[in-house]
Amino acid sequence: MRNFLIVGGGVAGASAGYFLAESGTVTLLEMERVPGYHATGRSAALFSEYFGNPAVRALTTASRPFLTTPPPGFADGPLLTPRGVLTLCPVGAAEQFAEMLADGLAAPTPVREIGHDEVHRLCPIVRSGWYSRAMLKPAAMDIDVDALHQGFLRGIRARGGQVITSARVRSLSRRGGLWRAATDAGEFAAPIVVNAAGAWADEVAALAGVPPIGLRPLRRTAFLVDLPEDIGLPENTELPENTDLPQGVGAARWPMVTDVADTFYFKPESGRLLVSPADATPMPPGDVRPDDLDVAIGVERLQRATTLEIRSVRHAWAGLRSAVADDTPVIGEAQDAPGFVWLAALSGYGVQTAPAVGRIAAAAATRTPLDVAYDHLSPERNHLERHGTPMSRAAFLTERWK
Ligand SMILES: Cc1cc2nc3c(=O)[nH]c(=O)nc-3n(C[C@H](O)[C@H](O)[C@H](O)COP(=O)(O)OP(=O)(O)OC[C@H]3O[C@@H](n4cnc5c(N)ncnc54)[C@H](O)[C@@H]3O)c2cc1C
């Protein structure tokens, strides 16, 4: 049996561990007391095949079968439930809207343009006059993030692996063909280590002497607001013919609403509205907190696009979406560090792509061919563009490996 170490117990590390546990013994090391404390536990929980660049969309689509039909016993209920996304075109953004519409027509379930009446039926608080056109992305879904994450972690344990919390990896070195991790919870060793440390992935690489990928953690804010009690759809409102849209009553079945320039979004969440100003502020890795100004910007954008008047914000939080320059995940073995496998830079897509990225990371770790090519995700792609000249990379390696 082979052994694998995984650094990071967010949804990415948990997914990689789940698939790796099919071929060996997994030890997942998480620095917090609770896995999912960082990005994974702070997301907006949306699955959208209309979102991200083509590489991201392919990973999202590849994740759909697992999410719609997980293995028996993986979760108690469905992992995906219908939501839909309504994208509005504010005055002046016509060109961007036309591009997004054309692009969305090629999605597995195509987008469709809808008129003002239908917008009003789907989400009666949208302010008429604020937007000129609208499109519906009908197949976007809510993800039960906790159920997905816990399902992966349970699977690791069920296959004989361990999930060790309060185990921050403080040093990582390769000796005698093994990666040795010194953590707050003791020392662990295995020939393969998967770096799934989220915003800290470049820091973990530095511990191991592996060149960084140029990760940029970007803070995103979200908050909850109350809805007026009388708001919602009348009980017998006719819905458009689309079985993918939520079939409930009232605000709970509104789609997520956003604008074509991605300056805000809101969606129903446990009887309230989850709102985000879609900010992306560069930050060092850490336990980030929301900035009052970002919350105020979110409130202002929400009030501009809807008829709501917000008097108070219930609860605000922020998390880090960590990306590299091409906004494409980085998965694969580091060229100059045998057995060191990257699973990072999942940006705003790490939950919706988790099954596919975990499977790919497991294939990279076991050097098993997959039925899909994933060279374009390799940590070596564009390395020189991100980190300067060949000289600087060579100098870095010489410095690190001497
Ligand atoms: C506001 C917001 C909204 C989002 N909305 C969506 C969405 O709708 N859909 C979607 O798919 N994605 C969304 N995302 C993105 C998604 O949350 C991330 O892509 C995903 O959670 C990344 O998972 P991860 O496992 O890589 O990172 P994390 O969840 O951050 O996990 C990394 C883990 O590594 C641990 N770690 C770090 N260093 C060490 C160390 N030295 N030793 C041990 N452990 C360590 C950390 O404690 C952490 O638990 C959103 C993100 C935010 C912030």
Q: What is the pLDDT of residues 238-262, one digit of tens each?
A: 445 554 544 444 788 899 999 999 9
* Least confident among 240-244, 272-276, 372-376, 379-383: 240-244
Q: From the CA of 152, how far away is ligand 1's center (Å)?
A: 15
Q: Between 133 and 231, whose confidence is greater?
A: 133
Residue 273's CATH number: 3.30.9.10
pTM beyond 0.85: the answer is yes
Q: Is residue 60 part of a domain?
A: no
90 lines ligand 1 (CB under 6 A): no
Residue 161's CATH number: 3.50.50.60
- State what percent of residues in the chain have pLDDT above 70: 89
Q: Looking at the predicted structure, is the pLDDT value of residue 192 above 60? A: yes
- At 297, list the tokens: 């910007």
Average pLDDT score over residue span 181-210: 98
Q: Report the atom number in ligand 1 closest to the C-alpha of 219.
A: 53
Residues 228 and 316 in one domain: yes
218 lines ligand 1 (CB under 6 A): no
* Mean of all residue pLDDT scores within the chain: 90
Residues 368 and 287 in one domain: no
Q: From the CA of 183, how far away is ligand 1's center (Å)?
A: 20
Residues 166 and 29 in one domain: yes
Dihedral of the alpha carbons of 362, 334, 386, 46, in degrees to the nearest 10? 10
Q: From the CA of 351, how far away is ligand 1's center (Å)?
A: 8
Q: Is residue 316 part of a domain?
A: yes
Could you say which of 262, 291, 322 is where a domain stops? Answer: 322
Predicted pLDDT of residue 262: 94
Could you say which of 322, 357, 392 is where a domain stops? Answer: 322
Predicted pLDDT of residue 230: 63
**297: phi then psi, degrees, rounded to nearest 5:** -65, -40
38 lines ligand 1 (CB under 6 A): yes
Average pLDDT score over residue span 93-120: 95
What is the pLDDT confidence band of residue 396, given thresholds at 50, 70 and 90?
very low
Residues 160 and 109 in one domain: no
321 lines ligand 1 (CB under 6 A): yes
Q: Report the atom number in ligand 1 closest to the C-alpha of 11.
A: 25
Q: Is residue 77 part of a domain?
A: no
Q: From the CA of 344, how far away is ligand 1's center (Å)?
A: 9
The CA distance from 92 to 263, in Å, is: 14
44 lines ligand 1 (CB under 6 A): yes
Could you say which of 277, 292, 322 is where a domain stops? Answer: 322
Residues 195 and 333 in one domain: yes
Q: From the CA of 198, how far away is ligand 1's center (Å)?
A: 5
Q: Hey, which of 219, 221, 351, 357 would you mutate to test ligand 1's pocket, going by the most ligand atoms within 8 Å of its Cβ?
A: 351
Residues 110 and 224 in one domain: yes
Q: Is residue 52 part of a domain?
A: no
pLDDT tens track for 291-319: 999 999 999 999 999 999 999 999 999 99
Residues 153 and 232 in one domain: no
Residues 165 and 208 in one domain: yes
Domain count, the chain: 2
29 lines ligand 1 (CB under 6 A): yes
Residues 228 and 106 in one domain: yes
The CA distance from 294 to 283, in Å, is: 14
Residues 317 and 223 in one domain: yes
Residues 209 and 228 in one domain: no
Distances (CA, A) of 189 to 174, 209, 318: 9, 17, 34
For atom 53 of ligand 1, the residue with the nearest CA is 319
Predicted pLDDT of residue 232: 52
154 lines ligand 1 (CB under 6 A): no
Predicted pLDDT of residue 243: 44
Q: If DSSP states are collapsed to H, E and C, what string results for the chain?
A: CEEEEEECCCHHHHHHHHHHCCCEEEEEECCCCCCCCCHHHHCCCEECCCCCCHHHHHHHHHHHHHHHCCCCCCCCCCCEEECCEEEEEECCCHHHHHHHHHHHCCCCCCCEEECHHHHHHHCCCECCCCEEEEEEECCCEEECHHHHHHHHHHHHHHCCCEEECCCCEEEEEEECCEEEEEECCEEEEECEEEECCHHHHHHHHHHHCCCCCCCEEEEEEEEEECCCCCCCCCCCCCCCCCCCCCCCCHHHHCCEEEECCCCCEEEEECCEEEEECCCCEECCCCCCCCCHHHHHHHHHHHHHHECCCCCCCCEEEEEEEEECCCCCCEEEECCCCCCEEEEECCHHHCCCCHHHHHHHHHHHHHCCCCCCCCHHHCCCCCHHHHHCCHHHHHHHHHHHHC
Q: Looking at the predicted structure, is the pLDDT value of residue 45 above 80? A: yes
What is the pLDDT confidence band of residue 94, given thresholds at 50, 70 and 90?
very high
Q: Is residue 57 part of a domain?
A: no
Predicted pLDDT of residue 237: 47
- Domain membership of residue 329 as a residue range: 2-44+145-215+325-401
Predicted pLDDT of residue 393: 35
204 lines ligand 1 (CB under 6 A): yes
